[in-house]
Chain A
Amino acid sequence: GNSVTQMEGPVTLSEEAFLTINCTYTATGYPSLFWYVQYPGEGLQLLLKATKADDKGSNKGFEATYRKETTSFHLEKGSVQVSDSAVYFCALSPYSGAGSYQLTFGKGTKLSVIP
């Protein structure tokens, strides 16, 4: 079946530090890959996505590249801010065109950025 494995948190970084949150997946076919972010007290929001191998998703300074050879979709940001403190979820969808998006999530990684 499909699965997503994320690095366990919590992750604590100082402001302006470099961020990497590892994500690897197992899936049949060619899934789409996503990163969702959940800020304190809010629902999940789509942060970025990639739909095919070697695609790079980017948003708000975050980036992730769809690596089929390593089945990975690691999230990176060059300089984190306190406002980036949140829980980050990696997810995949094996959408085949026949139905709606069924997301398979990782367990989430909590990021805390300190001034």
Chain B
Amino acid sequence: AAGVIQSPRHLIKEKRETATLKCYPIPRHDTVYWYQQGPGQDPQFLISFYEKMQSDKGSIPDRFSAQQFSDYHSELNMSSLELGDSALYFCASSSDRLREPLHFGNGTRLTVT
């Protein structure tokens, strides 16, 4: 069965650079969630989208932005990267925003040096 696809799997950036993470939800899922998991930390909700509109916002820094496109894939854009941004970023999708996310992607591991 198709799953949530994230790319890239690993990304290494330097401080003050920018990064773009991509998430392709399960087909026919219109809701996407982004989470950040720092080393040894529990996942933290960043932002979610429903039908290409921002649905909820969590602890997402102002340096980050995200959007959902017409094909429902989503991109997380991160600028002025800091060492503390090093984390595992994963997204999840659901068939609508009234349902909990069933499946998460394998995540993108971002390392900022």
Chain A residues within CB distance 8 Å of chain B:
4, 32, 34, 36, 38, 41-46, 49, 89, 93, 95, 99-108
Contact = CB atoms under 8 A, between A and B. Distances in A.
A100 B48 contact: yes
A45 B100 contact: no
A105 B42 contact: yes
Given A100-B56, A101-B94, A43 B104 contact: yes
Given A43-B3, A46-B101, A100 B31 contact: yes
B41 A93 contact: no
B64 interface: no
Interface string B71-111: 00000000000000000001010100111111111110000
B1 to A, nearest CB: 11
A21 B14 CA distance: 39
A59 to B, nearest CB: 12
A43 B100 contact: no
A41 B33 contact: no
A49 B101 CA distance: 11
A100 B104 contact: no
A44 B33 contact: no
Nearest to A44: B104
Contacts of A32: 100
B42 A46 contact: no
B42 A108 contact: yes
A38 B37 CA distance: 14
A-B pairs, top 6 by smallest CB distance, nearest first, are A43-B104, A44-B104, A100-B97, A105-B42, A99-B56, A100-B55
B42 to A, nearest CB: 4
B97 A99 contact: yes
A45 B33 CA distance: 14
Interface in B1-57: 3-4, 31, 33, 35, 40-43, 45, 48, 50, 55-56
Q: With a 10 A CB-CB cut-off, give which of A49, A102, A107 has the most chain B CB atoms.
A: A102
20 contacts: A34-B100, A41-B106, A42-B106, A43-B3, A43-B4, A43-B105, A43-B106, A44-B103, A45-B103, A45-B104, A46-B100, A99-B55, A100-B55, A100-B97, A101-B48, A101-B97, A102-B58, A103-B43, A103-B101, A104-B42
